Structure 1
């Protein structure tokens, strides 16, 4: 399963990209609003840093303006994936962009019906927001399971990109279900890296090595 970082923070992208575990980036207007500086320059910088797919979202809601914005965003780099909202106009834009060979990510998916329609329109990715479903008392991971089953049954090539991840368990469960991609904020990736038993074990190893150094003054690799 691919792991995307859900952020517009350039420093975090650079930090985690160096680990070799991040396959792509997803951004949105909300994430961009949290960063200082010109958002256009920020998006272009992210596209430059990350060699994998980078989702950049349109802000228009009508077909003509969405299409115009999409074409401009696509010029930022060959790895740009244009993020389109799940609306009737959005589906029309996805269909148009697909015919032009431009990759798309349909966002704000909350039902299997929406995911199926986005896939039929030609979406490269569909992004179900599982955390937001959990927030209203639904089971977001059930939606992931439904989409995986439908896409597999009809050999649909659209990739399932699990979004609105709240904790590391979401990542594991999505992976077990067969999701293609999970996008998560930097703090969740940090939690995935760390474990208290790892820290405890490392402290023990280092403490024992210091004892060896004390008994062997000339010890060196």
Structure 2
């Protein structure tokens, strides 16, 4: 399973890259706003900085909700770098944009997916990635991981090549569960990745090893 970091923060991206586990980056308008990046020119420049930090795929989201607007934005976004993937929402016009992008050889990430039916539409339209939002599904009392499992089963049966990108991931447990459910990619904040390091027995074991070493070396 590939690890993407979900942020527009350059420091967090650089830190994830330094761990040697980073496979890509996902962003959205909310994450850009969080970093105080606004205006079309500034956003495009920031995407370029992100692309300079990783060789992996970088999802850059369109703002338009009409087909022509999405086509225009996609055409501009792919000029930034070869590793740009255009993020398109799961709406009627978005599916049209996915199909158009596929015909143009533009790689895409279909975002805001909340059902297996939507995931089928995205795959049929040729999306490179489909992004089910696990955490947001859990928030309304449904089971986000069951959706990942359902999509994985459908894609395997039908032979769809679209990769399942588990999004709205909020914890280390989410990461592990998404891997078990069949996600091809997981995207989350740096803090969620860092939580995978932690286990009390690791801390206890290390403390004992270091104490024994100190005693053995006469310190």
TM-score grouping bracket, smaller chain normalisation = over 0.9
> What TM-score do you get using the length of structure 2 for normalisation?
0.94
2:197 to 193, 198, 207: 193
1:5 aligns with 2:5: yes
1:53 corresponds to: 57
1:1-221 aligned at under 5 Å gives the runs 1-37=1-37, 38-214=42-218
Deviation string 1:109-146 (CA, Å, 9 cap, x unpaired) is 00000000011011000000011010001111111111
C-alpha root-mean-square deviation of aligned residues, in Å?
1.2
What residue ranges of structure 1 are gaps of 5+ in the alignment? 216-221
List structure 1 runs of 4+ shifted beyond 3 angstroms. Answer: none
8 Å CA contact retained: 2:85, 2:108: yes
CA distance in 1, matches of 2:204, 2:11: 29
In the TM superposition, residue 209 of structure 1 has moved relative to its aligned partner by 1.8
CA distance in 1, matches of 2:63, 2:203: 44
> What TM-score do you get using the length of structure 1 for normalisation?
0.94
CA distance in 1, matches of 2:3, 2:198: 16
CA distance in 2, matches of 1:211, 1:40: 57
Aligned positions, number: 215
Structure exhibiting the larger radius of gyration computed from Cα positions: 1
What residue ranges of structure 2 are gaps of 5+ in the alignment? none
Q: 3-state DSSP class of the match of 1:156?
A: coil
